[in-house]
Amino acid sequence: MDGTSIFGAMQALQFGAQTVNGLLALKVSSEVQTKAIELNSQIIAAQGHIMAIQSDYAATIEEVKLLKEEIARMKSIGGEREKYILHQVERGAFAYILKPSVDSSEPAHWLCVQCFDNGHKKILSANKRVTGGREVEHQCPHCKNSITVHHRRRIQRLTEDELKIQIDNIEGRRVD
């Protein structure tokens, strides 16, 4: 049922109500008047139901619009996800990094694992030095998660060979 169907039903009911009111205005028997009043009550109830349906229909249209926007956003994220790979930047410290095969003018950067897995691309930024300045904490500006790495560890893109070694190590085909 679309908006025009609902509008047409409302018009038909309004015409019916006007007809009943016209009948009531005529000098007719009390039995006909009673039936006309009953019919008028039923028409008013039907109008109320149609208005509720119309309200539900408008809410459904809005929900469909929001879902379409979400699908478009997820498709966009899906394409973006293909550019990155999960990388262990330090023992126990993980981040998403650009794949070597991605031709991008973006500088090398680390993405927050939690945010990226939740559909947000948030770059970890060097926040502060810890443990006497030998380590640097990189923090997500969105969720505040952080990873700590040695201060000499630089954010850089992997080469294809480094990526292959990392994948082999993850899959248990240790390559030294």
Whether the Cβ atoms of residue 128 and residue 175 lie closer than 8 Å to each other: no
Q: Is the pLDDT of residue 113 over 90?
A: yes
Q: Do 108 and 166 fall within a single domain?
A: yes
In a domain, 29, yes or no: yes
Residue 175's pLDDT band (boundaries 50, 70, 90)? very low
More confident residue, 105 or 48: 48
Write out pLDDT tens, residues 34-63.
Answer: 887 888 888 888 888 888 899 999 999 999
Torsion over CA: 24, 29, 34, 36 (sign): negative
Average pLDDT taken over every residue of the chain: 79
DSSP secondary structure string, 131-158? TTTTEEEEE-TTT--EEEEETTPPP-PP
Q: Which of residues 46, 80, 114 is at a domain's end?
A: 80
Least confident interval from 63-77, 119-133, 147-161: 147-161
Q: What percent of the chain has pLDDT over 70?
A: 75
Q: Which of residues 80, 105, 129 is at a domain's end?
A: 80
Q: Which of residues 80, 98, 129 is at a domain's end?
A: 80
Q: 44 — alpha (psi -120 to 50), left (phi > 0) or beta? A: alpha
The helices-and-strands tally (H runs, E runs) of the chain is: 4, 5
**Cα gap 144→115, rounded to integer Å:** 10
